[in-house]
Amino acid sequence: MARTNRASNLRKGSPPRAPMSMPVQDLRARPGNSPISGSTNLSIWSARAVVNLGTLALLGYAIHEIYKVVEVGGVTVLEGLFMALFAITFGWIAFAAMTAIAGLMARRETGLKPDLSLPLTTLTALVMPVYNENPTRTAAALEAMAEDIEALGHAGSFEIMVVSDTTNADAWVRETVAYSKLQERLQPTMPVWYRRRWKNTARKAGNIGDFVVNWGGRYSQFIVLDADSVMSGSLVISMIHKMEADNRLGILQSVPQLAGGQTLLARLQQFASWTYGPVVARGVYAWSGDDGNYWGHNAVIRTRAFAEAAGLPELKGRRPIGGPIMSHDFVEAALIRRAGWKVRMVPDVGGSFEESPPSLIDLTDRDRRWAQGNLQHLGVINAAGLAWPSRLHFATGIMSYLSSPLWLSLLLTGMLLALQAYFIKPEYFSQDYQLYPTWPLFDAERMQQLFVFTMGILFLPKIIGVVRVLVQPRLRKAAGGSRKFLLGALFELLLSALYAPIMMLTQTRQVYEIITGKDSGWKTQRRGGDGDSWMTVMVRHKWHTLIGLTLAILAWLVDPALLAWMSPALAGLIVAIPLSWLSGKPDAGLALAARGVLITGPETGIPEIIERRDGLVDTYADLPEDGLGWLSQADFRIAAQAAFNLEQPRTEPGSPDADFLTARTKLEDACSRSQALSWLTQAERLRVAADHKMLMMLNRLSG
């Protein structure tokens, strides 16, 4: 698609409208236009057979063994419950293990064109959705990507589109300042567009949908980025080449690698992502084929496919299960696949990066929203016409959160069995005139063997990941050598084991809140900082510590052996407060890095795109803290802000905007600018920042 008159539009906030129709999809009716089609070659079917049959075989063996453990003395109701919970949780880890095995069998993705000099024939938007974010790193990432694409000679085939859902006036002003500077710096290179929605209906999905409906016709495809993500120019161009070569390819998802973190938790997750992530990604790629998934960012999406098939309905029922779909990406991928488009992943290429939450509290805050979004998929998984791998993607997302309450239930049931054996006197002669007693029997030796087998299946993906690094000299060197890498793997295993029970209780609470109707909302993510205060951590984790100590004392009173059996789960809960506090500390992470522990490839050889982004951060660092106050001090700033504003929607007759009216009244009554600013609420500040007349009223007031 040719681009015309770009320079003359440069100072406008948004490009000329190029609307597309985006109908809301009916989940109850199979679309009648395009049947699902795609390649299901022998390698894909083989991977699916390995995963499905292997999971069933492992699960069958585990169920047989757990039955043999308890059946010698007769299976009680409590033991039957224990068996059922064990079977469900074991099936989940068996599926993960067989996915890793399938990844070993998968052929490498060779479909990305290596010749980056080949011309592109379409126009692509680099779409950056933002929501009350600090725009410093985001603007730096976009400039770095634009420069990288320009260096390869393809800048003329791309435009940047920042789509804002920001609801804070000061954050909005900082955005317009940062992206105006980005616009000026990239003027010779690539157009930069910016628009802010007046109402953030349907959150991120609605934000992307609004872009497609209003401007999608301008672009053949768009790349969705996240506020903490960046992609190399070579990867972007290669993915666009693949999209242009296959007119039935709807989504092409890269595999983002965690990078750039400094805190203990961020470095821990980076190490796990670099070591084990490729194993899982290749496994999912192996059995997905054209029935892949989409993770919401660092992916290329064909605009036509998205507009035709990804209009999301609101789910029936009250929030949080009903209402707008929060984890929209899985659903969009499934609906696009349902409409006959291919959804694929490229697991064996580098150049796609994102950042990790900096602390355990930040991780659980993000997890709360993800938990709600994934449980909403219970209302989508049975939608008409979905490919069965799409339903499997939904099921894995759902189970990733339901597994925590199931695991907790399994532990509590096991403890109840121990308490029963300790406190309830067995009835050895259950029948009158019984000659020999009925002894309560439990096959302890078989149980120990089953425990070892279960741990082996649980850790199999990690073992494969470790072996993968050790046998490849390039990876082994990037990890600091075998000794330091193994030390890092051991450290990651220990800390992950300590974090796991905390996440188990946290996710169990999240599931309970969702079931009982508590909505998560949509909070701005924290991207960095120096961690959480002791008080914040104590308030968040006091119940985890109390529960851990109570269960430990109870287990010790019953049987020290029971305490030993439960200690892996209880240890993390007991030290939850210091562990969480330490997780967000950059000093702890950097101290390990200085000793070569938890080192990953992107650190021993920093990718140029990340190095360039980090080098550009200072360019956008000088942003006003009090955005509205700064804006109101000069009329030329007000004029620049107005250039980015979309036309404000009219209010319904008879329903005036109360915040607008009160803001204007306060400005009329104020004797100084500082007084007016002190009177305005957050909602009123937003109305002032959006209205040229009120900004000029504020400007005319003395300081």
DSSP 583-608: HT-HHHHHHHHHTTTT--HHHHT--H
Q: How much is the pLDDT for 496? A: 94
Fill in the amino acid letter for 89: T
Q: How much is the pLDDT for 23? A: 96
pLDDT by residue (tens digit) across 110-152? 556 667 889 999 999 999 999 998 999 999 999 999 999 999 9
Q: How much is the pLDDT for 5? A: 41
Q: Is the pLDDT of residue 48 over 50?
A: yes
pLDDT by residue (tens digit) across 490-508? 999 999 999 999 999 999 9
Residue 702 — pLDDT band, cuts 50, 70, 90? Answer: confident
pLDDT by residue (tens digit) across 1-20? 444 344 333 446 889 999 99
| Least confident range of 173-182, 332-341, 466-475, 652-661 | 652-661
Residue 319 — pLDDT band, cuts 50, 70, 90? Answer: confident
Q: How much is the pLDDT for 10? A: 40
- In the block, tokens 């809960």 appear at 573
Q: What percent of the chain has pLDDT over 90?
A: 68
Q: How much is the pLDDT for 401? A: 95
Average pLDDT over residues 657-684: 95
Q: Kindly report the length of the chain.
A: 703
Q: Which residue has the higher pLDDT, 564 or 168?
A: 168
For CA atoms 422, 569, 406, 454, the dihedral sign is: negative
Burial of 245 (0-12, 13-18, 19+ CB in 10 A): exposed
Cβ 585 vs Cβ 593: under 8 Å: no
Average pLDDT over residues 403-421: 86
Q: Cα separations (Å) of 351 from 236, 239, 285, 521, 600?
A: 9, 11, 18, 32, 14
Q: Is the pLDDT of residue 198 over 60?
A: yes
Secondary structure (DSSP) of 137-206:
HHHHHHHHHHHHHHHTT-GGGEEEEEEE----HHHHHHHHHHHHHHHHHTTTT--EEEEE-SS-TTHHHH
Fill in the amino acid letter for 321: I
Q: In which order are the strands placed within the sheet that holds 352-354?
A: 230-231, 352-354, 257-258
Q: Is the pLDDT of residue 211 over 90?
A: yes
Structure tokens at 127: 């779409």
Q: How much is the pLDDT for 1? A: 42
What angle do helix axes 444-471 and 264-288 make, rounded to 10 degrees? 90
Count CB-CB contacts under 10 A for residue 318: 10
Q: What is the DSSP letter of 24?
A: B
Count CB-CB contacts under 10 A for residue 23: 10
Q: How much is the pLDDT for 426? A: 57
| Least confident range of 42-51, 440-449, 644-653 | 440-449
- In the block, tokens 């506090």 appear at 581
pLDDT by residue (tens digit) across 586-606? 998 888 888 888 888 777 667
Q: How much is the pLDDT for 6? A: 43
Q: Is the peptide bond before 320 cis (omega within 30 degrees of 0)?
A: yes
What pTM value is reported for the model?
A: 0.91
Average pLDDT over residues 479-496: 93
Residue 443 — pLDDT band, cuts 50, 70, 90? Answer: low
Q: How much is the pLDDT for 517? A: 84
Break the chain into its structural domains and give their ranges. 628-700
| Least confident range of 153-162, 311-320, 432-441, 516-525 | 432-441
Q: How much is the pLDDT for 529? A: 66
SS3 624: coil
Cβ 340 vs Cβ 291: under 8 Å: no
The number of C-alpha atoms within 13 Å of 30 and in the hemisphere containing its C-beta is 9
